[in-house]
Amino acid sequence: MDVQDTIVAAATPAGRSALAVVRIDGPLAYELSAKGLGRSAPLPERRAAAAVWRDLRGEPVDQVVAVRWAAGRSFTGGDTLELTCHGNPLLVRRIVEDLLARGARMAEPGEFTRRAYLAGRMDLTQAEGVADLIHANGERALEAARRLLAGELGRLVAAWSERLLSTLATLEAHIDFPEEDLPAEDPRGPAAALAALASELSEYARTARHDAALRGGLRVAVVGAPNAGKSSLLNALTGAARALVSPEAGTTRDWIEAPVGGLPLAVTAVDTAGLREGGGAVERAGMERSLEQAESAHFLLLVVDASAPPPSLPPRLTTALRPGRCLIVANKSDLPQHPALPSFMPNAPRVKACLLDSRDGERLRAALAAALVDADLAPGADELVVSVRHADALRRAAGALEDARSLLNAPARTELAAERCREALDALGEIVGRIDNERMLDKLFASFCIGK
């Protein structure tokens, strides 16, 4: 991982495209911007130049657009050259091979961003924001990544550290001059400050419960009795005639999944076979799969035919329909409502629907999005969601601060309390990467794409 090396990688995926980008970072970038482009002098920085890239033997490889970024003013902090060539993998390979022949080496995954971090161009949370921005698979995940990259968590950590340092200063003054009164402040001041900070850190750590949903999305199973309108609901949610809709009961047997677009989170809806007593061997096998889907889904949409007597559900489904984990879709609202419907699962949230055509899709998608937030499966619109790594450090910091606070109850133990505060500071420092930890960095950057 020597920063004196010049590294090279394609920054765009392998495959055919209109254009592809090859990135070069390191000391050779400067002279390569002359040699490879057939220029007598290196390219002026930050100006695009169209030129023919020639390999070491002087053979033309491709017409490229080159941009040079000077050290100190580039993403990585070092000298960088970006070549945009035509998006043929053979051309990309020839350019990369030529750069290797000229003394560069292949970049490791995430090495460009790691250099940016090591050069102090960004803190560790921002580097994570770069990876998150690339991998985000929903609007909320994109927004979270954008905020991370903009340094929002880094600024919070800086503010928490400031607060802690000032409390620590008070404690240290007390250690140095134990006979003197603490500065014109309530003697319980430091303890209260530590408790407040600890609870704030724990609260932020708790937001990591939404990290998996943000990254991996949620699975929503559509369940209910035959003919209630489950397949119609899947089609309405996904805006596509994905599942067969038929007045014949027992049409759906295999489960069918499809992405629900237009939601802030990546949500996959799963249509399942209707659950009823009896049925043939194949239908029963389908029902077994329905129950498995219901049990493994994050959330359930229970479709009921509002015009018919409420369904009697198998006990396994009733167990899976835990409070706060389902939304009842009372379908067929175009027909007269059955009088027993209001007393069916009266405490579960419900939404009316008419799924005869797909016009209800928009409204039901919004209802589902809101239900997921209500069920605490998805973060609210403005909530900052920290990662599992951040949460681990925040919890350790909060724990150390709690310890420090209780140590303050005994005057002689101020020194120990100060020690615990310093541990909390270190834990906060890990979040932004102030504390060096080579193994953690290796692990973190290994999850990046090559070329980023």
Q: Nearest to residue 170, comparing CAs of 421, 449, 360?
A: 421
Q: What is the total residue count of the chain?
A: 452
Stretch of 4-12, 51-59, 167-175, 348-356 contacting ligand GDP, by CB under 6 A: 348-356
**Contact partner, 331, from ligand GDP, Mg ion, none, Cβ < 5-8 Å per class:** ligand GDP
Q: Is 190 helix (H, G, I), strand (E, B) or coil?
A: helix
d(CA 451, CA 23): 7
Tell which one of 115, 121, 210, 332 touches ligand GDP (CB under 6 A): 332
Q: Nearest to residue 226, comparing CAs of 193, 272, 281, 187?
A: 272
d(CA 37, CA 51): 6
Under the binding rule (CB under 6 A), the answer on residue 336 touching ligand GDP is no
**Contact partner, 42, from Mg ion, ligand GDP, none, Cβ < 5-8 Å per class:** none
Under the binding rule (CB under 5 A), the answer on residue 272 touching Mg ion is no
**Contact partner, 228, from ligand GDP, Mg ion, none, Cβ < 5-8 Å per class:** ligand GDP
Cβ proximity to ligand GDP: between 230 and 452 the closer is 230
Q: Residue 318 Cβ, how far from ligand GDP at the closest point, in Å?
A: 18
H or E element at residue 398: helix 388-407
For residues 49 and 66, the answer to whether their CB atoms sit within 8 Å is yes
Longest alpha-carbon distance in the chain: 87
Strand 105-106 to strand 267-271: parallel, antiparallel, or no bridges (unpaired)? unpaired
Under the binding rule (CB under 5 A), the answer on residue 414 touching Mg ion is no
Tell which one of 43, 237, 355, 431 touches ligand GDP (CB under 6 A): 355
Q: Residue 245 Cβ, how far from Mg ion at the closest point, in Å?
A: 7
For residues 106 and 7, the answer to whether their CB atoms sit within 8 Å is yes
Strand partners, 8: 24, 106
Cβ proximity to ligand GDP: between 164 and 355 the closer is 355
294 to 323: interface string for ligand GDP, x by CB under 6 A = ---------x--------------------
Cβ proximity to ligand GDP: between 232 and 414 the closer is 232
Q: Residue 358 Cβ, how far from ligand GDP at the closest point, in Å?
A: 10
d(CA 52, CA 305): 68
Q: For residue 169, give both structure tokens.
A: 């200063």
Stretch of 73-81, 100-108, 250-258, 262-270 contacting Mg ion, by CB under 5 A: 250-258
Under the binding rule (CB under 6 A), the answer on residue 252 touching ligand GDP is yes
Whole-Å CA distances, 30 to 9, 43, 47: 16, 8, 13
**Segment 210-249, which members bind ligand GDP (CB under 6 A)?**
224, 226-232, 245-247
Count CA atoms within 13 Å of residue 100 on its CB side: 11
The site for ligand GDP (CB under 6 A) is made up of 224, 226-232, 245-247, 251-252, 274, 303, 331-332, 334-335, 354-356
The site for Mg ion (CB under 5 A) is made up of 230-231, 251-252
